[in-house]
Structure 1
């Protein structure tokens, strides 16, 4: 029994001595590896701050800017870790780490496919120049002002003050209309006048009413006017003109103002804007049949 204990103790002491010798032998490598890790840590912090300053002007969303800077900083730390393992001659450990990281990346990517897709889309949206905070956009049936572009979603504030949250992936995969990319919009107003109206006078009145109502229109000649069809109860026309506007709300206000001014001008000159009229015509035969049916009912 005592001999077994001594044998076991001897094996343990030999192992400890071997580890101690190995530790002393590799002290320079361990010191260099620790130095590399410390340098990579402080370097990653410097890279984080530098990257944040560089992209701050291009990316207005702080969350996205911090995410990009943090990813760059993590890459610096990982590079330092692999370099430290190489200094300690742990090539097998590096291969194991790379294999484990690859497998973990695949598993995490499959599990968080939707979230990662929206996150990547958020980063892409942050660098796109055709959509910015404060823009008035229309997409997927919603229209409003862009008030936030987060990592996973875009927030719109509609004209009725409702907030709409749309996943970033949906924004990238669907058409988007940005009213703020241009400073001018075309307003179109459709109307109709009675068949008895003087059409040349109607055109002149309409152009003058529009030109006098909007300062940015330099003269009635810049107002487009076209008769479009002979309607059921009116001769219809289309009036088009340009205004300085950056969102659909200003366009809607301009159209409303134009309708009011056209109606006032027509009322002043007694020009009729007819509503739909249905004329019923009865001939003598129809009246005779109706009268015979009445007599039959009375009998």
Structure 2
């Protein structure tokens, strides 16, 4: 083969490779754009169907990841690489990587369990995985929470499902647990009446279930009363703080004593006995 023929062959092969590379790049760019568009379309469709936001977030994330893999394989196939053998290589590599990333796979499985059993959803305030906050997103591997002081906490899904989960927002109503301590000298009937009046004056307290007001404990220096009204879940903390203040103000106005721990110390003076011996 002379030099001219070799040069023509190089030019031909180069043009073919360049063309395939351009096609692969177009497939990759357009495919990724279509994947994002389809993710947005699926999100809108599920939202219009009133699907659970947790299902929408998790489902669209999984669908997007699958579409990206499909686009990548299509682009690789356009470069002339046999995708069947490539998939086999990916499968073998995936097995090795899977063994090394067992934690990530367990997080994915835990995310699927969250979708199936729904122990919490977007917007719920939960306690789990050693943290507490409002659920703002559920990813393939993690759950994202927002704390009361506006911090984001990212918790692995496996950690969330490996222990107890307290869903504070699961029900529409909550019970506020307050403790009012008075002295032993205060009249029992008066204390009960004042606590009942404080509860009755708050319009956020629900009539049912009825508020429980009882003497609860006889301590060393205090008599403890429990005050347990039921409120809507969204009113919990405002009622907790404001009713605590209202009880204190009402007790002060009526002369009810809120004792604090104190100790009486008695000092005894002993006269030193006279020394009977005489020092020379």
> TM-score under structure 2 normalisation?
0.67
Pick one of 266, 269, 278 that aligns with 1:281: 266
Asked if 1:259 corresponds to 2:244, the answer is: yes
Aligned to 2:141: 152
Aligned to 2:272: 292
- In structure 2, relative to structure 1, the CA distance for the partners of 1:171 and 1:194 (3 Å cut) is same
User: In 1, distance between residues paired with 2:38 and 2:151?
Assistant: 37
> Alpha-carbon deviation of 1:102?
5.7
Pick one of 171, 176, 189 that aligns with 2:165: 176
User: Conserved in 2, the CA contact under 8 Å of 1:136 and 1:143?
Assistant: yes
- In structure 2, relative to structure 1, the CA distance for the partners of 1:70 and 1:233 (3 Å cut) is closer
User: In 2, distance between residues paired with 1:148 and 1:156?
Assistant: 7
Asked if 1:227 corresponds to 2:215, the answer is: yes
User: Conserved in 1, the CA contact under 8 Å of 2:61 and 2:140?
Assistant: no
Aligned to 1:130: 119
Q: Alignment partner of 1:191: what SS?
A: strand
> Alpha-carbon deviation of 1:101?
6.6
Aligned to 1:38: none
Aligned to 1:65: 60
User: Conserved in 1, the CA contact under 8 Å of 2:204 and 2:231?
Assistant: no
User: Conserved in 2, the CA contact under 8 Å of 1:52 and 1:66?
Assistant: no
User: Conserved in 1, the CA contact under 8 Å of 2:177 and 2:228?
Assistant: yes
Aligned to 2:77: none
User: Conserved in 2, the CA contact under 8 Å of 1:211 and 1:217?
Assistant: no
User: Which of these two proteins has the greater Rg computed from alpha carbons?
Assistant: 1
Q: Alignment partner of 1:255: what SS?
A: helix
> Alpha-carbon deviation of 1:184?
0.6
Q: Alignment partner of 2:214: what SS?
A: strand
User: In 2, distance between residues paired with 1:120 and 1:140?
Assistant: 16
Unaligned stretches of 5+ in structure 2?
Answer: 1-33, 74-83, 276-280
Unaligned stretches of 5+ in structure 1?
Answer: 1-44, 79-93
Q: How many residues align?
A: 224
Q: Alignment partner of 2:169: what SS?
A: helix
Single out whichever of 118-127 and 182-191 deviates more from structure 2: 118-127
Aligned to 1:243: 231
Aligned to 1:215: 204
Q: Alignment partner of 1:181: what SS?
A: coil
- In structure 2, relative to structure 1, the CA distance for the partners of 1:105 and 1:140 (3 Å cut) is closer
User: Conserved in 1, the CA contact under 8 Å of 2:110 and 2:157?
Assistant: yes
Pick one of 172, 181, 196 that aligns with 1:192: 181
1:5-154 pair list within 5 angstroms? 52=42, 57-58=51-52, 59-61=55-57, 64-68=59-63, 71=66, 103-154=92-143
- Which has a greater percent of helix? 1
> Alpha-carbon deviation of 1:115?
2.0
User: In 2, distance between residues paired with 1:269 and 1:115?
Assistant: 61
Single out whichever of 122-131 and 196-205 deviates more from structure 2: 122-131
**Cα RMSD (Å) of the superposition?**
3.6
User: In 2, distance between residues paired with 1:104 and 1:163?
Assistant: 34
> Alpha-carbon deviation of 1:126?
3.4
> TM-score under structure 1 normalisation?
0.63
